[in-house]
Each structure stands twice: as structure tokens, then as C-alpha cells.
Amino acid sequence: MRDCMAIAPYQLGFSAAHHEDETGPLPIQGAIPDWLRGSLIRTGPGTFEVDKQTYHHWFDGLAMLRKFSFENGKVSFVNRFLESQAYQEAKAKGKISRSEFGTTARHSLFERIRDPFPRLTDNATVNITVQGDRFISVTESPMPIGFDPKTLNTVDRFNYQDQVPGQITTAHPHFDFQENAVYSYLVNLIPQSSYSIYRMDAHTNQRELVGSVPVKRPAYMHTFAMTEHYIILAEFPLLLNRLSLLLSGKPTIENYHWKPEQGTRFLIISKEDGKVVHTCRSESFFAFHHVNAFEQNHEIMVDLVAYSDPSVIQSLYLEPLLHHPDQVIAAGELRRYCLPLDSPTANYKVLTPEPIELPRINYQRCNTHDYRFAYGVGSSQPGNFTDQLVRVNVEDGSSKIWRSPNCYPGEPVFVAAPNASAEDEGVILSVVLNVQTENSFLLVLDAQSWDELARVELPYHLPFDFHGQYFEAIAPTERAHLHR
């Protein structure tokens, strides 16, 4: 009989970090390439508890920044909690004060009457980026938090100097290196729902509304795609009930409802004027992460990590993660959707049999262009979360795997070697949890051979995080210093 309360072997990755620390140089097994001189800055949950209350979903824990810095073959480390208003209120009140993705702060009818509109959380636990020469940590509410990239100390909220409408956004903006500008979107719920596409010059904090797309019920979209001329929104049939969001008291994601009979709609939007130039429909599916997109022969290729339905969201609540690991969905299917600009139907092919998630590419070189290599975490067997790193050749479907006993790697960040001639010439950086030794280490892989170059050992563990970026220089005077 199956043990319904099995303890997940990776449970340490969902326990709090008890250190806010500066340490270095760290012990290294192997050798760090001499040319690696910058910082990997990441964000993710630092704790899942506030006094006696517990957040319910992996996405909800209070954000902690962490940074590995490289110089002369040595590595130092610092981590700090992001002191957002959500963090400060939780610490001051001794309870969860703002609703998150899968956790509500409005439990009782009295709390919903007292606080009828759910306050946006600024618990920026999803991604790191640079905007207006500021380092910011971001989440799916448009309330980024600025921080000092040297100390990781929280500075203040990043305020936009514009009136672009929207209450929900993505933590994965795209950067156009030709225009030196950011593209992203907001979901506006008031008074009518729409998707607000915006552009923002790299060194400003003023967004420019490119276009607005009306929509009856907005979809949950974690990321989007961009090509040279277009923004592509993959509108999965996981649709928001706005009245429920205001009145139900449920956490954010539980106000979205799966409507598979509607299929998935791809909106192809001009970057020049914000108009929808074409739409394609496909079968119903769900995805968190896009990988890349590019234009080819009057078609648009959109690569993403797909799931047949949004049950992956439910599987990442802490209860199944910790006690029902056999129910956990850790990785999806890497698909390429072909969107013909003269046909209403989108079709796809599977690019690899290997399950993959948290995908990365050589962003500066390949984003919006045809490419060969994608990197991600994978799962070697059901119920064991993400226990391997995967390199996929999207042209022929071949793959390389890194796996080590009792180890659970995080998102692989690609860093190009100086003056690289090949797309995959560089290294992969991944923060790995070793549950046997009960500590985390930074793994450095050769991105071409997939050979292990080094392990940089921490004296303690870090909770599983989400996303981060590598910066060649702490002062982001040139946007090209950011490796997405």
C-alpha cells in the first residue's frame, strides 16, 4: 500500500534559511574559470513561516536575495531577506499580512469586510532585473523593490513615472538589445479587463503604452514571448473571475478557473503600434515558462515548457510537495508551436523526450533568433522533484544530463565566455541542494561538454529558489552586462 504521508527526500529545500550572512572565500572543489568576474544574484523564498502561520505554496515564502561573487578564481557569498512591506508587516504583526499566489491573508468574513479589496503584495520573490540603472527584485504585482547590489540591503520601492494601467504583471520582461529597451505587459482589471503592452527605455523608469488588448476574462500567464517585430501572448484557458478575486477571500491563483473547451489562443501583437496582427488557436494546455521565439518564413516559432493542464500549480503547494511527492509535477514538455501568419491554427512538435523546467538560453545572443541550445532542470523519475540538469539541442533533440546522488539543482544560468564564437561557449551556474550533507553548493558546468568544473560549498542550506541573473559588473552602466 502506498504511504500517503511519505516524507519527500528533498524536504530540506522547503525549510527556512536561518542565516543572513557574508562569507568568503568559500571552499572550492575543482577550479573556477579565470574569466568569470561578476556576480550571480538570485531570489526566492527564504522562509515559509511567520510566527505560527505557514505559507501554503512554494511561490509564497518571504523573499530572500542571495549573491555569489567571482574574482580571481575565488567566490564569496552574501544573502539578505528582502525587506518589502509584506515582510515588514509580517514581522511587526507576527502573522501573514498580505495575500500571496497560493496563500490568503483574509481568512474570516470580518477580515474581508475590513479589507474588502485584496492588497497587492510586494513580496518580490520571483526574479532579478535592472531597470533605470536600479537593481530590482520583481514578482507578479507591479511593485518592484530596489536593492543595493553590493550588500543586498533593501533600498526602497521602485516607482514608475507613468500611468500605464494594470494590477498584474510578469516577472519575466524581455529586453530588446537593438532598441535598448524593455518590453512587458500589465493585466488591467479596472474598469474593464485588458492587456497593456508597454515599452520602457533601459535607463528610465517611465513606461510607454504600446497598445491595449481588451479581453473578457484575463488568463494567467507567467511569461510571454518576443520576436524581432512581435509580442506573443499565449492565452491559456486558465481564466480569472474578477468578482471572485475581490470577494471570495481565496488566494490569487484560486480565483482562476480552467476552461479547456476554449483552447489556447496566441495573440500576435505588433511592437510598433500595439495592434493584434493575427491570432492562432491550439489545443488547451498550460505553461509557466517560454524559452524563445523567432520569425521564420512568414511563421512564428514559439518554444515553451508545456503541461496538459494546470494541475502542476496544485502539485507545487507545500502539502503535496512535502507529503505526497508521488503527486508532484516537477517538469514539463519542451514544445515548439508554429504560428502561421496566414492561418488560424497553431501546431506543435516536441523538441526532446526529456522533462524540463526553468529554461534558459544564451539570451543576449539568441533571444528572438533561431538557436540550438536550451538549458533547464529536469526530473529523472516521478516524485523526486528536480534532480538533474538538462542541456537540449533543439535542432536534433539530443540531450546531456548532469545528475549527482542526493542533489537537487536549481535554474541553470548560462554565462558566455569572453569573445565566444559558439552559442554554447561558456559556463552554467546552478545552486544545488545536497540533502545528504545538508548544505547547498554552487555548481559550475562547462556548457559545451556538460562536464563539472567546480563546486563552491556553502556551510548551510538554501531553500529552493526561482530565478536570477549574472552581472558582469555591479554598476549596470551598459545593459549588455546583464546575462538573462
Share of the chain above pLDDT 90, in %: 87
pLDDT at 68 > cutoff 50 = yes
pLDDT confidence of 196, banded at 50, 70, 90?
Answer: very high
Higher-pLDDT residue of 476 and 433 is: 433
Q: Is 329 left (phi over 0), alpha (psi -120 to 50) or beta?
A: beta
- Per-residue pLDDT for 297 more than 90? yes
pLDDT digits (tens, 9 = 90+) for 121-144: 999 999 999 988 899 999 999 999
Write a three-state SS string for the chain: CCCCCCCCCCHHHHCCCCCCCEECCCCEEECCCCCCCCEEEEEEEEECEECCEECCEHHHCEEEEEEEEEECCEEEEEEEECCCHHHHHHHHHCCCCCCCCCCCCCCCHHHHHHCCCCCCCCCCCCEEEEECCEEEEECCCCCCEEECCCCCCEEEECCCCCCCCCCEECCCCEEECCCCEEEEEEEECCCCCEEEEEEEECCCCCCEEEEEEECCCCECCCCCEECCCEEEEEECCEEECHHHHHHCCCCHHHHEEECHHHCEEEEEEECCCCCEEEEEEECCCEEEEEEEEEEECCEEEEEEEEECCCHHHHHCEHHHHHHCHHHCCCCEEEEEEEEECCCCECEEEECCCCCEEEEECCHHHHCCCCCCEEEEEECCCCCCCCCEEEEEECCCCCEEEECCCCEEECCCEEEECCCCCCCCCEEEEEEEEECCCCEEEEEEEECCCCCEEEEEECCCCCCCCCEEEEECCCCCCCHHHEEC
Residue 117: its pLDDT value, please? 58
Q: How confident is the model at residue 245 (pLDDT cuts 50, 70, 90)?
A: confident
- pLDDT tier at 5, thresholds 50, 70, 90: low
For residue 111, the tally of other CB atoms under 10 A from its CB is 13
Mean pLDDT of the region 93-107: 88
Burial 244-274 (b: 16+ CB within 10 A, else e): ebeeebbbbbbbbebebeeebbbbbbbbeeb
Closest to 55 measured CA to CA, from 326, 288, 256, 253: 253
Say how far apart CA 292 and CA 414 lie, in whole Å: 14
pLDDT digits (tens, 9 = 90+) for 301-350: 999 999 999 999 999 999 999 999 999 999 999 999 999 999 999 999 99
pLDDT for position 115: 60
Q: Which of 401, 465, 404, 472 is nearest to 431 (CA)?
A: 465
pLDDT beyond 90 at 72: yes
Region 195-215 average pLDDT? 96
**Degrees to nearest 5, angle at CA 324 with 319 and 327:** 105
156-165, 231-240, 265-274, 364-373: the lowest-pLDDT one = 156-165
Which pLDDT tens digit goes with each residue over 411-430?
A: 999 999 999 999 999 999 99
Examine the pLDDT at 273 and tell me if it is beyond 50. yes
Give 46-64 pLDDT, tens digit per residue.
999 999 999 999 999 999 9
Instruction: Please report, to the nearest 10 degrees, the dihedral formed by the alpha carbons of residues 203, 156, 21, 416 taken in order.
Output: -20
Calpha distance 347→394 (Å, rounded): 17
Please give the CATH number for the structural domain made up of 11-483: 2.130.10.10
Band (482; pLDDT cuts 50, 70, 90): very low
In the chain, the N- to C-terminal Cα span, in Å, equals 46
For residue 184, the model assigns a pLDDT of 98
| Residue 274 cell numbers, joined | 500595439
| Higher-confidence position of 215 and 111 | 215
- Domain segments of the chain: what residues? 11-483
Instruction: Express each pLDDT in 138-151 by its tens digit.
Output: 999 999 999 999 99
pLDDT category, 478, cuts 50, 70, 90?
A: very low
What pLDDT band is residue 473 in, cutting at 50, 70 and 90?
A: confident
Measured over the CA atoms of residue 212, residue 217, residue 218 and residue 219, the dihedral's sign is negative
C-alpha cell at 371: 538557436
Radius of gyration of the chain (CA): 21
* Averaged pLDDT score across all residues of the chain: 93
Q: Give CA 129 to chain center in angstroms.
A: 11
What confidence category does residue 383 fall into, taking pLDDT thresholds of 50, 70 and 90?
confident
The per-residue pLDDT for 181 is 96
For 23-44, what is each residue's pLDDT tens digit? 989 999 999 999 999 999 999 9
pLDDT-based confidence at 116, cuts 50/70/90?
low
Q: How far apart are CA 406 and CA 421, in angstroms?
A: 36
pLDDT of residue 110: 58
Nearest to 43 by CA among 63, 69, 58: 63
For residues 213 and 224, what is the distance between their CA atoms, to the nearest angstrom? 15
pLDDT level of residue 481 (50, 70, 90 thresholds) = very low
Rounded CA gap, 384 and 155, in Å?
A: 38
Best CA proximity match to 357, nearest among 394, 399, 414, 306: 306
| pLDDT range class, residue 7, cuts 50, 70, 90 | confident
